[in-house]
Amino acid sequence: MRDLRARVAAEVAKVVVGADGTVDVLLAAAVLGGHVLLEGAPGTAKTLVANAYARSLDLGFRRIQFTPDMLPSDVTGTATLRGGELAFRPGPVFTHVLLADEINRTPPKTQAALLEAMQEGQVSADGERHQLPVPFLVVATQNPIELEGTYPLPEAQLDRFLFKVDVGYPSAAEESAMLRLPRAGIAATPLSRVVAVASADELAAARLEVDGTHTTDEVLDYVVAVVRATRELPAVELGASPRAAVHLLGAARARARLDGRDFVTPDDVGGVASAVLAHRLVLRPEAELDRYRPSDAIATAISRVPVPR
């Protein structure tokens, strides 16, 4: 998987500066069968990195730009009359990699249609089930929830995302490297420079590798202790779920493999904890007023659990 990572990161780096961490997360999600939420201010290359990543994989790719007037059937598909018979016309969700761009600009009903498909790997229409392709990876982007005219995803739906990445501003060095990328006018570096360097077979092989990663009882106990610690913090109203514990262990295994190891360490768990857990926590209002953030709560939880030796 380490080699896979190097190839994909090199492709994405042709058009985006400083995206290696995001690429790690996107690769881990594709291998584990999870979904990713990219959150950040406008103009921080969320759409660009998702596009470039999808192009680096030899898989089907679709993009949905979410808008306030979009209907659930614009995502999942519609039943149409064809020669007197009802036929299902699949929507854009029927693909391998789906970029769900600005997901919080569409009302809850349409968000729910996508999240249901993510959860179940299928779409139900008129009492019939339509299986989504495998692998199926949703990369959703959203602007921070304070912005006007947005519909924040509810907690129960956030819990379905394996990772949330906070896409921050680049460093000064990265921003200046970004200005040195070739472009025509103000357009981004053409995506046609990015070529597919990984196949579905390779992702499936990586899945087997990840599943076979050695995990000691001590590491499993550590995962449990970290998750439980998030539920006991005074600042936290809703802690991490058992589903979150499953996601945390999977992410730690993928991280070990991305690093070229066949065993998980407590550091792997700590290293992915914020990206896997922070978006699932609900803080008490007092804590939010104090500008205490979910990632601070994760850091506190980690600091309270003794690291196994």
Ligand X SMILES: Nc1ncnc2c1ncn2[C@@H]1O[C@H](COP(=O)(O)OP(=O)(O)O)[C@@H](O)[C@H]1O
Could you list the residues that contact ligand X (CB under 6 A)?
16-18, 40, 42-48, 141, 170, 178, 181, 188
Considering the complex, state which of residue 43 and residue 306 has its C-beta at the smaller distance from ligand X.
43
Q: 37 is in the binding site of which of ligand X, Mg ion, none (Cβ under 5 to 8 A by kind)?
A: none
At 51, give phi and psi (nearest 5°).
-60, -50
Chain residue at closest Cβ approach to Mg ion: 47
In the complex, what is the shortest distance from the CB of residue 280 to ligand X, in angstroms, rounded to a whole number?
A: 23
**Are 17 and 178 within 8 A, CB to CB?**
yes
Considering the complex, state which of residue 38 and residue 59 has its C-beta at the smaller distance from ligand X.
38
Other CB atoms within 10 Å distance of the CB of residue 168: 11
The C-alpha atoms of residue 309 and residue 177 are separated, in whole angstroms, by 41
Interaction of residue 157 with Mg ion, rule CB under 5 A: no
Q: Cα torsion at 109, 113, 116, 121 (round to 10°)?
A: 180
Neighbouring-strand partners of residue 238: 282
The C-alpha atoms of residue 31 and residue 17 are separated, in whole angstroms, by 23
Considering the complex, state which of residue 169 and residue 263 has its C-beta at the smaller distance from ligand X.
169
Q: 188 is in the binding site of which of Mg ion, ligand X, none (Cβ under 5 to 8 A by kind)?
A: ligand X
Considering the complex, state which of residue 87 and residue 181 has its C-beta at the smaller distance from ligand X.
181
In the complex, what is the shortest distance from the CB of residue 48 to Mg ion, in angstroms, rounded to a whole number?
A: 8
Q: 111 is in the binding site of which of ligand X, Mg ion, none (Cβ under 5 to 8 A by kind)?
A: none
Task: Please select the residue that binds Mg ion; options are 1, 9, 37, 47, rule is CB under 5 A.
Answer: 47
Q: Using DSSP bridges, classify how beta strands 122-125 and 128-131 pair: parallel, antiparallel or unpaired.
A: antiparallel
Residue 137, CB-side half-sphere exposure with 13 Å CA sphere: 26
At 43, give phi and psi (nearest 5°).
80, 20
Q: 270 is in the binding site of which of ligand X, Mg ion, none (Cβ under 5 to 8 A by kind)?
A: none
In the complex, what is the shortest distance from the CB of residue 291 to Mg ion, in angstroms, rounded to a whole number?
A: 27
The C-alpha atoms of residue 143 and residue 137 are separated, in whole angstroms, by 20
In the complex, what is the shortest distance from the CB of residue 34 to Mg ion, in angstroms, rounded to a whole number?
A: 21
Residues contacting Mg ion: total by CB under 5 A? 1
Q: Does residue 144 have a cis peptide bond before it, meaning omega lies within 30 degrees of 0? A: no
Considering the complex, state which of residue 16 and residue 98 has its C-beta at the smaller distance from ligand X.
16
Q: Which stretch binds Mg ion (CB under 5 A): 26-34, 39-47, 128-136, 208-216?
A: 39-47
Q: Could you tell me the sign of the dihedral formed by the alpha carbons of 81, 85, 86, 90, in that order? A: negative
Q: 112 is in the binding site of which of Mg ion, ligand X, none (Cβ under 5 to 8 A by kind)?
A: none
Considering the complex, state which of residue 137 and residue 245 has its C-beta at the smaller distance from ligand X.
137
**Are 31 and 210 within 8 A, CB to CB?**
yes
What are the residues binding Mg ion (CB under 5 A)? 47
